[in-house]
Amino acid sequence: MARHVAAWCVAIVLGASTAHAADIKVLASNGVKAAVEALKPQLEKASGSTLSIEFSTTATLSERIEKGEPFDVAILTDDAMAALAKAGKVAPTQTKLARVGIGVGYRKGAAKPDVRTAAAIKQALLNARSIAYTGNGASRPAIDTMLQRLGIAKQMQAKSHLTAAGAAPASVAKGESDLVMTLISEILPEPGVELAGPLPSDFQTYLVFSAAPSPKASTNGNVLSLIKFLKTPAVASTYSAKGMEVTQ
């Protein structure tokens, strides 16, 4: 009898622990991947939950959310979040976290290209054998616009290597491409790749990332605690180290 009672008590304790540490499913853009991965232990502590995080491009994740995929928290670009909120796919109130600019990366050990001016980046791109960037990445519209304005869009077609989500920096590290153009927060964490610099100010575009709960999770205390922590001063240094700039 005592043995059965003890087993029953253990089951209750384990059940309570499991309920307390219920998973929070996060769908996050690759633009915040390095920061979110670094902050994961703190986020789990702040929310009292285990995080299940999936990363991809904002476009891919938005499509999945639009199709009804269950999730608790989304961290995407502002524009995508606004569209999802209008469609009732995320809660109407979003929390702005940080912004990220677009940069140029090159293989570690290679000569650092000059990308400080329009003339310099034009020459660097023309000199490169292959340039990688993500086919449906949030930074692509700004990159395409820059190539058009530089008058080299046609020349770049033959040497552009459009990659899958998150694969552009690795393409340079492996020697498959000479340069990568993507969010700075995606270049800095890649082993074997160095940041040549941000795009010249004439072409620079900053993408703002925001967090929001799903409509179903909008009153979940653990979810709201997670989002609140993402905006605290404690995370600012991590954002900065990963190539992001805190927004007000």
Q: What is the mean pLDDT of residues 133-148?
A: 88
| 76 lies in some domain | yes
79 closest CA partner among 227, 205, 210? 210
Rounded to an integer, what distance in angstroms lies between the CA atom of residue 6 and that of residue 242?
49
203-216, pLDDT tens digit by residue? 999 999 999 999 99
| 24 lies in some domain | yes
Over 80: is that where the pLDDT of 50 sits? Answer: yes
Residue 247 near residue 97 (C-beta atoms within 8 A): yes
Amino acid letter, 211? A
Q: What is the mean pLDDT of residues 101-109?
A: 95
213 in the same domain as 95: yes
179 in the same domain as 125: yes
| 224 lies in some domain | yes
Q: What is the mean pLDDT of residues 186-206?
A: 95
Q: How confident is the model at residue 8 (pLDDT cuts 50, 70, 90)?
A: very low
| 143 lies in some domain | yes
113 in the same domain as 90: no
36 in the same domain as 91: yes
129 in the same domain as 6: no
22-32, pLDDT tens digit by residue? 699 999 999 99
189 in the same domain as 119: yes
62-97, pLDDT tens digit by residue? 999 999 999 999 999 999 999 999 999 999 989 999
Q: What is the pLDDT of residue 138?
A: 83
41 in the same domain as 109: no
Q: What is the pLDDT of residue 163?
A: 82
Chosen domain end from 177, 198, 219: 198
| 181 lies in some domain | yes
| 241 lies in some domain | yes
Over 80: is that where the pLDDT of 166 sits? Answer: no
Total number of domains constituting the chain: 2
37 in the same domain as 21: yes
End-to-end CA distance of the chain: 61
212-232, pLDDT tens digit by residue? 999 999 999 999 999 999 999
Q: How confident is the model at residue 19 (pLDDT cuts 50, 70, 90)?
A: very low
User: Which residues constitute the domain of residue 40?
Assistant: 2-100+208-246
Which domain CATH number covers 231? 3.40.190.10
Which long-range contacts link 150-158 to residues 24+ away (Cβ below 8 Å)?
A: 150/118, 150/121, 150/122, 150/125, 152/122, 152/125, 152/126, 155/126, 156/125, 156/131
72 closest CA partner among 93, 91, 56? 91
| 80 lies in some domain | yes
Q: What is the pLDDT of residue 189?
A: 93
Q: How confident is the model at residue 13 (pLDDT cuts 50, 70, 90)?
A: very low
70 in the same domain as 119: no
144 in the same domain as 121: yes
220 in the same domain as 185: no
| 203 lies in some domain | no
84 in the same domain as 8: yes
